[in-house]
Structure 1
Amino acid sequence: MSPMRVVTYAILIAAALFFLLPVYVMIITSLKPMEEIRTGAMLALPQNPSFEAWSIAWSQACSGVRCEGVAPGFWNSVQITIPSVIVSVLAGALTGYTMSFWKFRGSNLVFAILIFGAFVPYQILLYPLVRVYASLGIFGTVGGLVIVHSIFGLPLTTLMFRNFFVSIPTELFKAARVDGAGFLRIFWQIVLPMSAPIIVVTVIWQATGIWNDFLMGLVFGGREAKPMTALLNNIILSEFGERRYNVEMAATFLTALVPLAIYLLSGRWFVRGITAGSVKG
């Protein structure tokens, strides 16, 4: 054990404790009854652990006048996230493929404008989008949120796929053209099967970003299509009288459970995808 390794392990342990301590507090607080929470022993283990707060947070906690817990928001988030990820990843892959192998006059300008859209603050686009959605009759719907997330995710997914495709030898593309393969055949049979690392990266990135989104869900979700994050905010803010910290912690952890599971189960693929070329170019 060299001094440098000791320092490295010390920094890693300190960083792990820094990030894991709030998770620990959330979990043990959600398992305590309010009598134990009032004692102020925040780090103490629960004496009589119970999952009652989790049950209340899932199906009974009140968001405004509705006392249905975060369960409706969970299913809304699932319906929003899955199609949004599929559409944005496929559209980004197709656009990045076009910008890499099928360049046309002005393609660099189009790509620059597309990437510039990733740096435009979402807040300045909210009011015009709300007006457009209201006129089209899709405001407050799951489909409207899918369109929003797909559009705003396109610049980043295009950039990631284009940077990855730059690392693919152009000889493969030229050989396929000589053999008579066309635009879609090259994409589906040659380019896309080679893009598994960057597909994993973009899927993880988009899935966690869309699931954790609050602003778009709050603005475009309306009354019936609010995602889990918007319902969590309403549950915490609409409590009156005694604040049930155990219920709030349980609801918060339930909301964060899906992104945590995604990173725990596929985090190593995320790192592999990045090192395989997603930041090259």
Structure 2
Amino acid sequence: MSTSTVSASAAPLPSPAEPSPHRRGGVPWTLVLRLAAILAGVVVVLIPVYVLLVTSLKGPGDASAARAWALPREWSFENWAQAWQALSPSIWRSVQMVVPATVISAVLGCMNGFVLSRWRFPGADIVFTLILFGMFLPYQAVMIPLMQMLLGAGVPNGIPSLILLHVVFGIPITTLIFRNYFESVPHELIESATMDGAGMLRTFWSIALPLAIPGFVVVLIWQFTNAWNDFLFAVFFSSPANGPVTLALNNLANGALLANYGVSMAGALLASLPTLLVYILLSKYFLSGLMQGSVKG
């Protein structure tokens, strides 16, 4: 038997790892604290949802501020039926407004982001800065000029005006997101298309647009949520007869049905369901799209 074999067999076995002083029963106390903090945050966030839900299922005599935390004495969906009857026309108008406004602003932002990230024309940084200036412009400060411009241009009040406004005011944020996203795309892909003789439009359509799907997910969720939840533009540029669901919900809560809290709570849940479903179904893609556009490749 060789010396190396004897020394290897005589080598002491590794001792088991010492238990960490931060463990109690095999679980790190830092993990317990993180889980407790997350659970506390979830409870705080869900408290208003709980109150909304249980109140929406109470009858007129049962829905009151004194019994806000209590479960319904008798479970009823009558409040949901009344809320749907009052809000369904405005929900459909919101869909008619949000879908085109979201898609148009996303497409325009994608084109702007591609040009500003890949075509370094003279003054590109100045143009990009001026576009971003729209993100920091207080909407309240431009309501009167906007109203005069739309009236002078003959844009109909209601959904057409709201579509135009959400497209215009959505371009800055969509341009920023897509510009950052295209900056993370390897330059070799664009250069190879250029070497093959593709022009800017062909490169955008065949190379950049398919690569921008994660960016589109981020922008579509962002724009959909902002347009659906908007109330300021709805107050100035529409009426209860031709406005979105946020305006109808405000009239429902401040109208004759105010004494029936259940109808107002059911209406609030109905109005928030579309954005809630969008986040539940696409939140994974939203976060991954943000991360892909945050690091340069």
TM-score range, shorter chain: over 0.9
Larger Rg: 2
What do residues 25-76 of structure 1 show as CA deviations (whole Å, max 9, x unaligned)?
Answer: 10110001022224823222223211100111111xxxxxxxxx11121011
Pick which of 108-117 and 131-140 moved more. Answer: 131-140
Match of 1:13 in 2: 39
Q: CA deviation at 1:280?
A: 5.9
Q: Separation in 1 of the partners of 2:295 and 2:154? A: 39
Q: CA deviation at 1:278?
A: 4.3
Q: Separation in 1 of the partners of 2:55 and 2:241? A: 30
Q: CA deviation at 1:10?
A: 0.6
RMSD: 1.6
Q: Please, which of 147, 167, 179 is the counterpart of residue 164 of structure 2?
A: 147
Q: Which amino acid aligns with 1:23?
A: V
Q: Which amino acid aligns with 1:103?
A: R
Q: Which amino acid aligns with 1:171?
A: E
Between the aligned residues of both structures, percent identity stands at 39
Q: Separation in 1 of the partners of 2:280 and 2:65? A: 34
Q: Which amino acid aligns with 1:245?
A: Y
Match of 1:275 in 2: 291
Question: Is the Cα contact below 8 Å between 2:58 and 2:72 reproduced in 1?
Answer: yes
Post-superposition, which runs of at least 4 consecutive aligned residues in structure 1 deviate over 3 A?
278-281
Aligned pairs (5 A) from 1:17-96: 17-38=43-64, 40-59=66-85, 69-96=86-113
In structure 2, the CA distance between the partners of 1:122 and 1:134, relative to structure 1 (3 Å rule), is: same
Match of 1:134 in 2: 151
Q: Are 1:229 and 2:246 an aligned pair?
A: yes
Q: Which amino acid aligns with 2:151?
A: A
In structure 2, the CA distance between the partners of 1:39 and 1:253, relative to structure 1 (3 Å rule), is: closer
- SS in structure 2 of the partner of residue 48 of structure 1: coil
Q: CA deviation at 1:222?
A: 3.4
Q: CA deviation at 1:267?
A: 0.8
- SS in structure 1 of the partner of residue 246 of structure 2: helix
Q: Are 1:190 and 2:207 an aligned pair?
A: yes
Q: Which amino acid aligns with 1:35?
A: G
Q: Are 1:110 and 2:127 an aligned pair?
A: yes
In structure 2, the CA distance between the partners of 1:8 and 1:182, relative to structure 1 (3 Å rule), is: same
Question: Is the Cα contact below 8 Å between 2:184 and 2:294 reproduced in 1?
Answer: no
What do residues 250-269 of structure 1 show as CA deviations (whole Å, max 9, x unaligned)?
Answer: 01111111111111111111
Q: Separation in 2 of the partners of 1:80 and 1:279? A: 33
- SS in structure 2 of the partner of residue 177 of structure 1: helix
Question: Is the Cα contact below 8 Å between 1:76 and 1:226 reproduced in 2?
Answer: yes
Q: Separation in 2 of the partners of 1:54 and 1:223? A: 20
Question: Is the Cα contact below 8 Å between 1:141 and 1:221 reproduced in 2?
Answer: yes
Q: Are 1:178 and 2:204 an aligned pair?
A: no
- SS in structure 2 of the partner of residue 50 of structure 1: coil
In structure 2, the CA distance between the partners of 1:279 and 1:201, relative to structure 1 (3 Å rule), is: farther
Aligned pairs (5 A) from 1:253-268: 253-268=269-284
Q: Separation in 2 of the partners of 1:72 and 1:197? A: 33
Question: Is the Cα contact below 8 Å between 1:160 and 1:279 reproduced in 2?
Answer: no
- SS in structure 2 of the partner of residue 262 of structure 1: helix
Q: Which amino acid aligns with 2:50?
A: Y
In structure 2, the CA distance between the partners of 1:280 and 1:57, relative to structure 1 (3 Å rule), is: farther
Pick which of 83-92 and 38-47 moved more. Answer: 38-47
Match of 2:14 in 1: none
TM-score of the aligned structures, taking structure 1 as reference length? 0.92
Structure 2 spans left out of the alignment, 5+ residues = 1-26
Q: CA deviation at 1:153?
A: 0.4
Match of 1:66 in 2: none
Q: CA deviation at 1:185?
A: 1.1
Q: Separation in 1 of the partners of 2:184 and 2:177? A: 12
